[in-house]
Structure 1
Amino acid sequence: MRTALSAYSEVPSAGKVGPPMLIVIAPADGRVIDTIPAHTPDTVRDTVDRLRDNSVLWRSLGVVGRIHWLYSFRNWLQDNRSGLATLLSLETGKPETEADAELALTLEALDHYRANAAEFLGGRMPQAALRPGAAMQLAVAHHSCAVVGVIGPWTYPLALAMFDALPALLAGAAVVVKPSSQTPLTLRAITAGWASTGAPAVFETVTGHDAGPAVLDHVDYVRFTGSAETGKVVALRAAARLIPCCLDLGGKSAAVVLADADLDKAAASIAFGGLANSGQNPNGIERVYVESAVYDAFLDKLVDEAAAFGPILGDDTAVGVMTSAKHIDVVRDQVRDALLKGATLRCGGTAAGHSFEPTVLADVDPTMSVLTQQTLGPVLPVVRVAAAGEAFELALRPPGPPCVSVWTSDIAVGARAVGRFAPAPVGVNDVSVHVARPAPY
């Protein structure tokens, strides 16, 4: 397997002959590891046309035939697991153990859909008649789109893209994945692995800045994971073609710590939920609301937990770095804005290379961008609130919480919080995270 890495730039090919090239750089040390072709709108169109032609055979195999090829693909993933984890670690800056955990998530998702595909795709007869005496039956059947486009993020580039690609493949669709230009290499290796199994040619990757819009212009259905700002563009472009799209958009997951909470457990768990993977979990905790009665005590415990994560030191390869150099500037600007507006830096706050220290900010208020914009970095802003009602109201403010973590010893309060924040997942006395480490294989 050919290896390659992250942070990127796109340049024209030498002498303007051939396609532009995407230079992929390792965030850990800045080395250029690989240079790959960037797809033009015309090559994306040709790819989608080819996939659409091939999807006819793929659908004709039926669910059992498609499961056969997914099983072969799973064997390839398992056989190449070590090399794929190394590649993912290189291009994202994650420790290899975390990269392997992301690969395990992909395997777990594949097993889930492979085991349940026949049931999920089976037709249903929900009711015999719409009203008494009506000679009518209502049936629900599932038909796949010819080509599904998956536009993925740089945060969990493998798992989040495959969560969308795998069910589409099993449903009978061909799939084209457009990964982030910062992290394109593992998915390119994945689709090459699919081809190497001899499976029908219904799974391909396109790369480059022009590839995303071109995917939207030619596929039949779009799955997008990323920022709300880009999501609006995706939705409008899909609407212009009258094709369906599904958006998994970023926000600011919140933690609420009430006065009766177990503060030690809350501090340890919230630190993990906000700082693990350098805070780059799309649904990781990005704001913390604490009742005034326990604010100071909780803050001290959280600072201790954050300090235990520690900055990157020497050659410690067990600690990851941030994937995007550009995004480090975003995190730095949010911290600077908070401090200029009166927040107190309790720990961290410094960037060095591709790393950013685990950071805790106290005395934070809603005028600060660290509370109103997605951070995707290892920063925990802590807000003092008078009571639970105020905390819940603030947590619901835009940009909205993808997930919520509520800490209380009152079961009734926890149950009410679940209903109040629906449909967002709510963890009561636990961190509600979107991407969790599965059991080892």
Structure 2
Amino acid sequence: MRSAQYTQTQVPDAGKVRPPMLTVIAPADGRVVDTIPTDTPEQVRATVERLREHSELWRSLGVVGRIHWLTTFRNWLLDNRDEVAELLALETGKPYSEAELEFDLAVDAIDHYRAQGADFLGGRHPQVSLRPSAAMQLAVTQHACSVVGVIGPWTYPLTLAVFDAIPALVAGAAVIVKPSSETPLTMRALAAGWAKIGAPAVFETVAGHDAGPAVLDTVDYVRFTGSVETGKVVALRAAGRLIPCCLDLGGKSAAVVLADADLDQAAACIALGGLANSGQSCRSIERIYVETSVYDAFLEKLAAEAAAFGPLIDDEIGTGVMTSAAQAEHVRTQLGDALIAGATLRCGGSGTGHTIPPTVLADVEPTMSVMTHQTLGPILPVVRVADAGEAFDLTLRPPAGPCVSVWTTDTSVGPRASTRLAPAQVTVNDITPHISHPTAY
């Protein structure tokens, strides 16, 4: 069973083959959610040209005018919260409570740029070091691209696309979003909402496998979130056109548990950091290194946390449901390879269909594929290490992830870890960084 599939439709009169239709199937129960048309490269090109024509009017509104429309769009989202969250939960397989959390993150992003957009777009005059023979002044100004392309993932199809689309709209660019073919419906609904409020026609979506390359070939700037392999293709294609791109790629985020850590706290938080959204995030914890003196005790606590892991609401279903059938099979392959190579199962297992239960692996070796290739699934592999030095060395091995959490009561470890593990985001006794606005201090 796949979350999205294509069907060819014959046009009887013309004898031509229409673009494939995209059928979206609910991962949780296999029912058809919707069938939508895909976009040919020619259609994508026409959409981008239409957006380019409208972008001049959009820029002319100024930041105040653009924020007015973003505020109206935010209000539409809040008025349609239940419908959008239900659609998101249906096409991704998330429990409704997790879909609500993703919805709230998207609204928070809109609020952030509504509040800070004017400041972000203001000109700056940084100090420069003057050469003895020259005097100069340096000014930094903002210039919006006409059309920004956002190519989003299936892991957080609403939030991550909104994170990229909203600042581009605030800056004065038109935006075309190409969601994953696994989860195209929620962003399609948002684009329909944008049109419904009467906003300028500068936000549209396209669908289908041919649409992604076509977006890359026509827009002025690309934001891509996805795998390292696809990211390389995106970067090369953008370089071939000499357009800027920004890539948010996957990896294997890690956790390091030292002997003096609060093991109860570490186990509970690492379980959350690796199992939320069924591990389907580039920031999910996929590698755990534990000092040998506390290895067994930590493993017991982690297995108990994973076995009890469930939705935020007790009567919800959906824990362990993966959005992509192909990704579920990839996770099962990694799990099977690890067990054959000597790892032992402490809880969970391979599951069936789109469902893989929260799983903890013990006796894992650093060379196993579950440690060397991105998983994007609810698997927590635990490696025994001699000390912090060995743990940090292993954490730096490819494929390094965007985040590392270190669990210790020694306050001197954090600064050392941050220096050694850069450029990863390093947190101490937490699974994610929390950033406050500088004016709060």
User: Does residue 398 of the first structure (1) align with residue 398 of the second (2)?
Assistant: yes
Aligned residues of 1:130 and 1:137 also touching (Cα < 8 A) = no
Deviation readout 1:5-37 (Å, 9 max, x if unpaired): x81011212445532210110101111121100
Partners of 1:320 and 1:37 lie apart in 2 by: 30
Residue 3 of structure 2 corresponds to 7
Are 1:227 and 2:227 an aligned pair? yes
| Equivalence for 2:407 | 407
- Cross-structure match for 1:279: 279
Q: Distance in 1 between matches of 2:296 and 2:231?
A: 38
Q: In the aligned structure 2, how far is the partner of 1:381 from the partner of 1:318?
A: 22
SS of residue matched to 1:355: coil
Secondary structure of the residue aligned to 1:63 is helix
Do residues 333 (structure 1) and 333 (structure 2) align?
A: yes
- Match runs of 1:95-106 below 5 Å: 95-106=95-106
Q: Which amino acid aligns with 1:356?
A: I
Question: Aligned residue for 1:306?
Answer: 306
SS in 1 for 2:225: strand
Give the partner amino acid of 2:274: G
The match for 2:269 is 269
Query: Mapping of 1:6-85 within 5 angstroms?
Result: 7-15=3-11, 16-85=16-85
Name the stretch that deviates more: 129-138 or 15-24.
Answer: 129-138
The one-letter code sitting in structure 2 at the alignment partner of 1:189 is: A
Does 1:237 pair with 2:237? yes
Q: CA deviation at 1:349?
A: 1.4
Distance in 1 separating the partners of 2:234 and 2:347: 38
- CA drift at 1:367: 2.2
Which residue is 2:431 aligned to? 431
When structure 1 is superposed on structure 2, of 130-139 and 389-398 the one drifting more is 130-139
SS of 2:402's equivalent in the other structure is coil
Contact 1:129 1:138 in 2 (8 A): no
Counterpart check, 1:383 vs 2:386: no
Give the deviation of 1:266 after TM superposition.
0.4
Equivalent position amino acid for 1:12 in 2: Q
Greater mean alpha carbon deviation, residues 100-109 or residues 121-130: 121-130
Q: Secondary structure at the match of 2:139?
A: strand
Structure 1: runs of 5+ lacking an equivalent: 1-5, 436-441
Q: Deviations over 1:293-326 (max 9, x none)?
A: 1111111111111111269xx9852636111111
Cα deviations by residue, 1:268-302 (Å, 9 ceiling, x for unpaired): 11111111111112211001000011111111111
Report the more deviating stretch, 109-118 or 340-349: 340-349
Q: Is the 1:12–1:21 contact (alpha carbons within 8 Å) kept by the matching residues of 2? A: yes
CA distance, structure 1, for counterparts of residue 58 and residue 315 of structure 2: 48
Q: Deviation at 1:258?
A: 0.3
SS of residue matched to 1:140: coil
Shift of residue 427 of structure 1?
Answer: 1.6
Deviations 1:329-361 (A, max 9, x none): 000000001111111111111212211011111
What letter matches 2:164 in structure 1? D
1:439 alignment counterpart:
none
Partner-residue secondary structure (3-state), 1:398? coil
Answer yes or no: is the 8 Å Cα contact 1:328–1:356 preserved in 2.
yes
Which structure 1 residue ranges, 4+ long, deviate > 4 Å from structure 2?
Answer: none
Partner of 1:353: 353
Residue-pair matches, total: 428
- Root-mean-square deviation (CA, aligned residues, Å) is 1.8
Residue 169 of structure 2 is aligned to residue 169 of structure 1: yes
One-letter code aligned to 2:5: S
Alpha carbons of 1:223 and 1:193: their partners in 2 closer, same or farther (altered >3 Å)?
same
Cα deviation, 1:363-384, whole Å, max 9, x if unaligned, reads: 1112211001110110000000
Paired AA for residue 389 in structure 1 = G
SS at match of 1:88: helix
* Distance in structure 2 (CA, Å) of the matches to 1:128 and 1:307: 57
Task: Give the match for residue 179 of structure 2.
Answer: 179
- With the length of structure 2 as denominator, give the TM-score of the two structures: 0.94
Deviation, 1:401, is 1.7
**Distance verdict in 2 for CA 1:235–1:181, change over 3 Å:** same
TM-score (norm 1): 0.94
Displacement of 1:64 in angstroms is: 0.8
CA distance in 1, matches of 2:130, 2:291: 51
Give the superposition deviation at 1:423. Answer: 2.5
* Distance in 2, Cα, partners of 1:401 & 1:293: 26
Q: Pick closer, same or farther for the CA change 1:79–1:374 going to 2, 3 Å.
A: same
Q: How does 1:193-208 map to 2 (within 5 A)?
A: 193-208=193-208
1:109 aligns with 2:105: no
